[in-house]
Structure 1
Amino acid sequence: MTTETASAYGVRLIGQHDLAGRGDGMQVMRHGDALYVGHAGTTGAGTSILDVSAPDRPQLVAQWDAPANTHTHKVQIADGLLLVNHERFPYRPKKPLGPHSAGVAIYRLEEPFAPEQISFWESGGKGVHRIVWEGGRYAHMSGVPDGFTDRIWLTIDLDDPVNPQLAARWWWPGQWTGGGETVDWPIGHRVAAHHGLAEGNYTYLGYDDANLVVLDTTNPLSPREVSRLAWTGGATHTCMPLHGRGLLVVTDEQQHDGPHGEERRIHLIDIADPTQPRYLRTLPAPDTSFDELPQRYGPHNLHENRDASYRSNRVVFATYFSAGLRVYDLTDPQDPREIAHWVSEAPAGSPVPQANDLFVDEHHLIWVTDRGTGGVFCLEPEPELAALMQDAAL
């Protein structure tokens, strides 16, 4: 069933797939003609693989379920491997759950549409939430091993992907209560690693209500905190450096339903000196009409400028749940501007759209997933945005 566009400027919808009626899309990534989609968890689906050789007519090739009481909503592809997280789901169950799977499944991609699982790294605890891996020996991730209050930052060694090993851990002091540490933050203040992206020797780590932690990861086996920065607002999600510019774009994830959910924004941080990050400003928010809607309205994910994708340190792509896709021009950090957007109609079975994650491929096509029932959408930039993207590409 096709979902129509409700509002658009600068981009247009060219294709969609409802993922066989299991449209709870989460992380999306393209590799050649294969598109990999992790599912949020509500349908029980785990991972879908689509053939997008014709982007206007994506075809579902494979789809497998997540293990019981588990979601596998993140995908990372590099070096001929696919990494998929395993994490307990729901996050906050209303009744006791049975056994769940916790860790990272590793697949070989000799056949991109038929991955072969070659190993599984057991994390213990609640499992792994988000993985950051662009190839090489070490993969980084957030997860909750046994003995910790919440998610910490983990590194696994993939030198032998058939036999992955834990290589390093970093956590906020007080999280390791199983090791005798004591929590010293207020009740209701969440201290939890979410997602870290690196530039040079530094990793910029979103730490939920604690906001930003900067780690020196010159030695990936011994990460070392060098600075922190806090601001008004919590649930810090992604901290993405704009390479070579001394700037960091940060999303605070909206985790509350509306109407009038707690305000979350996208922030711009000065990291010219990573040991002394400095808050600059927020990026423009969509118009306030979205705040009147049910479900989530606010930021979530950024396109992360991965290798083998579209890369820019000026044009930034973000999902904004009910406000869809938002595109910003940060050429002048003193005057960030929204330059394009796309919002779908409510997909069948959902009261509103919930744009969840996105990936801008090397052909400048924009792939957006819907958290509710919409599946995955393919968008194409209109000529003016396409020209700017070409000019701003790294």
Structure 2
Amino acid sequence: MKLLRAGGFILLSLLIFVGAAQSATLTLADVGGGSLSPPVAQGNYLYVGTGTTLTTWNMTDPAHPVVADRTNRAPAPGPVRALAMVGGYLYAAWNSPSDTGGITIYSLADPAHPLAVAEIDNYVAGAMKRPVGLAAAGNYVYLGDADNGLVVLDASNPLAPVYAGMVSGVYEFDAMGVYGGKLLTTGSSFIGGRVVHVVDVSNPAAPVEVGNTALDGSIVLRAVLTDGYAIGVGNDLMVYDLHDPAHITKVFDAPIAVATHAIRAGNVLYLVGASGIQVWNFTTPSAPTLLRTVAMDAFAPDQAAATSFGPVILTHTDRGLVLGVSDPLNPVLAASFTLPFGVSVHAGDFDASHAYFAEEGYGLGAFNATTLASLGRYDAALPASLAARDMEDMSVDGGRAYLAAWGYGVLIASLADPANPTELGRFAFPFASAIEAHGNRVYVASTTNGGIFKILDVSNPASPQELGSLTTSQTFDLTVRGNYAFLVDGSAFGTGGLRVVDVSNPAAPLLVGQYSDCASAGGVDVSADGNTAYVACDDGSLRIVNTSNKANPVLLGSVTLPGSASLPNYNVAHAVVVVGTVAYVGNEEGVDEVDVSHPQAPVQTARHETGFFVSRLALAPDGRVFAFAQEAGTYVFAPITDRIFANGFD
């Protein structure tokens, strides 16, 4: 356990070794968005784990929620998975893919501005920890650790909780709740499906599992816990009576319009899904009845909770919804608010004064380039499926945004009014994964079921035309310099590595050279003259390739990036952007800086940890580097000095 300074604790664009601090060229400027934790409400405030940060909303006027604070200057070492109120403190459980985890304790002395005051990382012995769930009752905190089991902490001193007991056979903690002397937990099991556990915690120092039941994972998409009942929702509504834990009984089962979340408020049950809000009379849990469905855009709810200011729904499409339930049987939309940055940003690009993010679940988010305040969004008209709406990559050029939608193809949006981007056209190309636009040409490629590289004419954006195509292996990234496209491929459907393609005749793109010693590559950047390529490889290396002879790319030098403390020999490089003599490499651990001033001997000089792997990078016009770290959110790094980097790179 570590107590932290009154000013908070300084995390994380820390470097993995002390000597590197002197050579770092970037510093953390902002971080936001990412996966959502279950929300917690206290007084007039709503607290939500957003990636590695905690976001606080002031809900004094529930019709107009306002962001009060974000812990963007001190992110946790991994995505926040769960929250729990313990006296005047907020516990936040986090973990990272390298199986490290802990609890950050925030003081709510000023409830609008949570202040990190302690960090707990020694609640059980052993290096591997994966806390994913929290619940609290009285002086006890129940921590669900997917590696170690259920841990009970005595929090009589909230700043220094101590181990009190443990149940090692329970590992599912998507949701937890204490009702009387029973702790309920639920989540996905190791073998598929879902399971509900009932643990007797009447003696917290000696918790005992007293019952469990499996739920059909092909029908139930989520289980919601309430006093005495577990509610399964998905293609069916299922109700399980938990009053006798030794004999858990399913008391209701009926097909429903697909729902992926549920909120119980007394005798009313709200089911949330693409069809809207289903209102059920839950007076008799063994015989609930559907009263009505209220039309509402509640597609892809990630989290939901009953609060004192009404039911709150947080969606994967960056929307927060507050239901007005003065008449519980006739809920209305009382407020809609935007989740900062985005729940799942896959890529980004810029114009002179705006940042644009490719947002999984709907399309495009437009932001003020300086403040990153949300300005507008483009919701693509696509099927209500996250796979169909998976925006893998984007490119901004000439007042337009071009999106690579994995489930559809290319979407083109006008950015003439960033507050209201509108669709101009689309081109069907399933499994699109990488895209770059230059004038009236769009270069786009796919990965799934074998790669294809296509060149499109978008002079009439309402009707894009295919000019030519080329079979690849599985193209994860591409860039174009003059008459050449540089593609990096995986090896699942052919030879991976770097491909150099002549695009001077767009009707017949021609493979002219290949570098395949990097068996599978995820990212590429190329000098403006097209003579040097920087390739991010899945063996954790950055390869610098001389491409002055396009027919014969030759390795100049390489450096292998170390992994984590627990897996020092494992890393994957996913993305790279080069500024001057520094290559920024997105990898499993974060963003590494590599000195490439001597291409034959590149040297890693710094690491900026992000708590989750960085899949893509984007360079803003002002020199900031945006790292898209999946569940951890979007990290923004600013140059440490005001020096201007200029070497001809785009």
After TM superposition, is the score higher than 0.5?
yes
Matched, 1:380 2:638: yes
Matched, 1:77 2:393: no
The residue type equivalent to 1:382 in the other structure is: I
Matched, 1:321 2:588: yes
How many angstroms does 1:339 deviate by?
3.6
Contact 2:618/2:625 (CA < 8 Å) preserved in 1? Answer: yes
Larger radius of gyration: 2
CA distance in 1, matches of 2:498, 2:442: 20
CA distance in 2, matches of 1:25, 1:327: 22
Number of the residue aligned with 2:465: 165
CA distance in 2, matches of 1:217, 1:393: 21
Number of the residue aligned with 1:93: none
CA distance in 1, matches of 2:392, 2:476: 14
Structure 1 residues 129 and 328: alpha-carbon distance in aligned structure 2, compared to 1, 3 A threshold: same
Contact 2:474/2:490 (CA < 8 Å) preserved in 1? Answer: yes
Match of 1:115 among 421, 428, 434: 421
CA distance in 2, matches of 1:244, 1:393: 8
Match of 1:86 among 400, 405, 419: 405
CA distance in 1, matches of 2:530, 2:442: 25
Match of 1:49 among 366, 377, 402: 366
How many angstroms does 1:14 deviate by?
2.0
Output the aligned Cα RMSD.
Answer: 2.8
How many angstroms does 1:4 deviate by?
4.1
Matched, 1:128 2:446: no
The structure with more strand, counted as a fraction of residues: 2
Match of 1:140 among 406, 430, 443: 443
The residue type equivalent to 2:31 in the other structure is: Q
Structure 1 residues 290 and 166: alpha-carbon distance in aligned structure 2, compared to 1, 3 A threshold: farther
CA distance in 2, matches of 1:365, 1:342: 14
How many angstroms does 1:288 deviate by?
5.2
Greater alpha carbon shift after TM alignment, 333-342 vs 216-225:
333-342
Match of 2:475 among 168, 189, 193: 193
Match of 1:33 among 344, 350, 353: 353
How many angstroms does 1:25 deviate by?
2.2
Deviations 1:103-132 (A, max 9, x none): 111111110232111111122xx3311111
CA distance in 1, matches of 2:476, 2:32: 29
CA distance in 1, matches of 2:614, 2:477: 19
CA distance in 1, matches of 2:375, 2:583: 31
CA distance in 2, matches of 1:393, 1:247: 12
Number of the residue aligned with 2:603: 337
Number of the residue aligned with 1:212: 498
Contact 1:12/1:380 (CA < 8 Å) preserved in 2? Answer: yes
Matched, 1:5 2:40: no
How many angstroms does 1:65 deviate by?
5.8
CA distance in 2, matches of 1:192, 1:355: 19
Q: Gapped runs of 5+ residues in structure 2?
A: 1-8, 16-20, 34-317, 319-338
Contact 1:47/1:73 (CA < 8 Å) preserved in 2? Answer: no
CA distance in 2, matches of 1:159, 1:17: 36
Q: Secondary structure at the match of 1:163?
A: coil
Matched, 1:62 2:376: yes
Contact 1:138/1:155 (CA < 8 Å) preserved in 2? Answer: yes
How many angstroms does 1:290 deviate by?
6.4
Number of the residue aligned with 1:370: 629
Matched, 1:250 2:535: yes
How many angstroms does 1:235 deviate by?
2.5
Q: How does 1:231-250 map to 2 (within 5 A)?
A: 231=517, 233-244=518-529, 246-250=531-535
CA distance in 2, matches of 1:77, 1:6: 28
Percent identical residues? 14
Deviations 1:328-361 (A, max 9, x none): 23221122123443223xxxxxxx3222322222
How many angstroms does 1:3 deviate by?
10
Number of the residue aligned with 1:361: 620
CA distance in 1, matches of 2:444, 2:613: 25
Contact 1:23/1:370 (CA < 8 Å) preserved in 2? Answer: no
Match of 1:285 among 536, 550, 561: 561
The residue type equivalent to 2:402 in the other structure is: L
How many angstroms does 1:17 deviate by?
2.5
Contact 1:141/1:195 (CA < 8 Å) preserved in 2? Answer: no
Deviations 1:87-109 (A, max 9, x none): 13xxxxxxxxxxxxx11111111
CA distance in 1, matches of 2:476, 2:612: 24
Q: Secondary structure at the match of 2:574?
A: coil
Match of 1:264 among 540, 547, 564: 540
Structure 1 residues 286 and 65: alpha-carbon distance in aligned structure 2, compared to 1, 3 A threshold: farther
Q: Secondary structure at the match of 1:282?
A: strand
Q: Secondary structure at the match of 2:463?
A: coil
**TM-score, structure 1 length as denominator?**
0.72
Q: Secondary structure at the match of 1:272?
A: coil
